Amino acid sequence: MTTKERILVTGGAGFIGSHTIALLLDRGKEVVVLDNLLSGRLTRLPLTHSKLTFVEGDILDYPLVAKLVHGCDAVLHLAAMASVSFSITHPLEAYQTNAYGFMHVLEAIRQADHPVRLVYASSAAVYGDAAHLPCVEEDASACLPLSPYALHKVDNEQQAKLYTRLHGIEALGLRYFNVYGPGQDPASLYSGVISRFLADHSHEVPLTIWGDGTQARDFIYVTDIALANLLALESSYSGVLNIATGQPETIFDLIQYIAHASERAPVCDCQPKRSFDIHLSYAAIDLAWQKIGFKAMVSLEKGVEVMVQQRD
């Protein structure tokens, strides 16, 4: 294991990136952030911190990416068009960012004059409606993507594995499950169900449920994601890992937690299930513990309670 002291974070002004950067800075790391600010916000970053450098730019700008990569010893690649619905309605634009942008990062690392470790955001979306649960990393047959975004992440994983095999690059993909927590913008295309539910509930707007409410997800709090990113950067393991709690929770469970934390029952509006919605998804988490020592610490009930208190 080699300590990584100067880290490039692409998409660092986003929800996950900003929480991770706070942890990296707290651990004494130097951080360079590359973000085009299409969905990221500068207000999320401690811009006056002496160990933080912000660069406004795009991962599709290869010369810029290469210059920044060459000045760092690790890359945390979070930049993406992460909206499933956007990837369906704008497939070319989403593919350009998610596939070509990722290749720019990989190629810049290959061309660097020193070893540069890559940790990148993959997604539980690669599993689709998995035939076997919990979702296990080594089960190649389990990857059945239901959206262009999910397919982009499968492509990223395959490209990273190829570069590891051909060029010896250390590359670790983290399959984040359903991330939530403070700072997630409920109005964003990239926002998850929890932040939208809490925003609607606080404004006494009915909560839209796509399906019958029995669909279940593996929800993971954003500070746990930040910790997983840190541990992954400090590791030398290459491959893919699930980053999750291993505990499925239904939408009805989530609504009960919101009701308990807010002391007010939400009003729900059930709509037909959408074609790209996954009914049941949760992760096998043993490999993340074995390879990087990661285990999620925050339960969904506790996480929802914290978010409700912060909104009050």
* Residue 273 falls inside a structural domain: no
Q: Is 256 exposed, middle or buried (0-12, 13-18, 19+ CB in 10 A)?
A: middle
* Residue 102 falls inside a structural domain: yes
Which one of 95, 120, 127, 149 is the catalytic residue?
149
What are the CA-CA distances from residue 100 to residues 36, 37, 60, 71, 291 (Å)? 15, 18, 7, 21, 29
Q: Which domain holds residue 40?
A: 6-179+220-246+282-297
* Residue 210 falls inside a structural domain: no
Instruction: State pLDDT tens for residues 210-224.
Output: 989 999 999 999 999
183: which 2 tokens?
């700072």
* Residue 186 falls inside a structural domain: no
pTM metric for this prediction: 0.94
What are the CA-CA distances from residue 240 to residues 158, 179, 244 (Å)? 10, 17, 13
| pLDDT of 181 | 95
The residues that bridge with 54 in the sheet, in sequence order, are 33
Task: Give the mean model confidence (pLDDT) for residues 134-163.
Answer: 91
* Residue 35 falls inside a structural domain: yes
Q: Is 92 exposed, middle or buried (0-12, 13-18, 19+ CB in 10 A)?
A: exposed
* Residue 89 falls inside a structural domain: yes
Q: Decide if 99 contacts 156 (C-beta within 8 A).
A: yes
* Residue 257 falls inside a structural domain: no
| CA 78 to centroid of chain Cα atoms | 7
Instruction: State pLDDT tens for residues 35-66.
Output: 999 999 999 999 999 999 999 999 999 999 99
Categorize the per-residue pLDDT at 144 as very low, low, confident or very high, splitting at 50, 70 and 90.
confident
Q: Is 282 annotated in the active site?
A: no
User: What is the bridge-based pairing of β-strands 249-250 and 216-217?
Assistant: antiparallel
CATH at 68: 3.40.50.720
* Residue 55 falls inside a structural domain: yes
> Is the pLDDT confidence value at 190 over 70?
no
Count: domains in the chain: 1
Q: Decide if 7 contacts 75 (C-beta within 8 A).
A: yes
